[in-house]
Each structure stands twice: as C-alpha cells, then as structure tokens.
Amino acid sequence: MSADLLQKAVMFFDIDNCLYHRNKGIELYMKESMEKKPESHTKTVLSPSFTFKPNTNRYSLVERLCIQYTIDYGLAIRGLIQHHDVDPVDYDIKVDQSLPIEDLLSRDEKLRQMIQNCSAHRWAFTNAGLPHATRVLKTLGVNDLFEGIIYCDYTEPDFPCKPYPEAYIKAMKMAGVSDPKKCFLVDDSIKNINAAKEMGWTAILVTESKEHKNVGDAQIEEIYELSAVLPQLFRQ
C-alpha cells in the first residue's frame, strides 16, 4: 500500500460482538429485555419465508421473530417497526439502553493498545443506536480513540443499516472518504462483510467458525488479531 493511500485509509470497526466477545452475555440480556415488551409487539404470524423447523421450540417467539427480521431487514428493529408499529425510540430506551453494559463489560487495555496502533483514520460503525454504542465504547475504555461513530438514527424514517449499501455510503460520507479501496471493515456479520466487499471495501470477519474461511479478505477469531491480517495499517 502506498504512503498516500495509507495516509487516507479509514478503518471501520463494528462494535457489538466484535470489539468484545459474544460470550459476554449482552445478546441474552437484550432478548430478555425484548420479551418484557408489551405482548402486542410480538403477537404476529411468522413470515412465510421463516426457516426454522418445527422442532426448534427452544426459541421463544420474540427470539425467532428477531432472528427472522434480522435476516429479512438487516436489523431486527426494522422488522418490528414495519410489522408491529414499534416505536424505535421507545425500543431503544427499553431494550438497548436498559442493558447492564457496565456489569457485563470492562475496560480492555489490550483492545485499547491495538486500536491506538492503527495508523488509519478510525471510525466505529454499528447497527446500534448512539446511546448504546457510546456506552459500550466508554465501558471498554476506547471511546476517545475514534474520530466518530456511524450509528442507526432511530428518529430517521427508514434509517439505513448494514448490510444495505446506503449504510456504507453514509459511513464513507461521514468519514470523508470517496474511494472504496481506502475503506477497511472488521465485523462479525457475514452479511455485513459480503456487503462491504460488494462496495469495494477490504473486509475482515471476526468468527470462531472454520466454515467461514472464504468470507471476506481474511478471518480472525478475536479482534486483537486484526493487526496480523492488516499489518499495513498498524504500527508494530
């Protein structure tokens, strides 16, 4: 990579299940918070495209809906808005902002050092709302290391989110970069990674599965390994 390209490169970091390990339990708490929502928000007939088999009754209705809506719309809240008239701002307050982030996560000095060593412009790029994203970054102790946060604005009608192209275009605009070759993404979602590749970005998948070895430009098991697969962006 040329010095000019390196100087203008932008590293976009996903947040949830990427900057921290998914075993921290945040997804579980989120599901429990959603199940406490009024029953009217979850009484519905499942989409004809629903893919779970009948014997998967271990999934609650809410969990199945959210998984399906994530498949169909990229983000569960978008499906809840469209099919259940859920107020996204109310959802954000009662679900995302109710999570005990400070009890589940803690300052991560190893993560902080890795991000500090990244010589590219650094942006957080999440499908969460701003309050949740900010809390997570502050709790991990890395909030001051990013130039900004690209997040889902729940007050915006039909707000863009990954993996839709509009979200990546928004991210590039906010980061002030027009050349997709200068854009790098690390994310735990295969769909998000594939979408980034289609946009011309370099994309790194965080996964512990050996089945995903062909997804993106590289795969890492933990975020700390990022410098090993993108050495051109990191000071050693």
Domains and CATH numbers, the chain: 3-20+105-233 (3.40.50.1000), 26-98 (1.10.150)
pTM of the model: 0.83
Q: What is the pLDDT of residues 2-25, one digit of tens each?
A: 555 555 899 999 999 999 997 755
DSSP string, 39-95: GGGT--PPPTT----TT-TTS-HHHHHHHHHHHHHSSHHHHHHHHH---HHHHHHHT
- Which residues of the chain fall below pLDDT 70? 1-7, 24-60, 62
DSSP-derived 3-state class of residue 226: helix
Q: What angle do CA 215, 141, 17 make, to 5 degrees?
A: 25
Q: What angle do CA 32, 222, 154 make, to 5 degrees?
A: 45
Say what the pLDDT of residue 45 is: 36
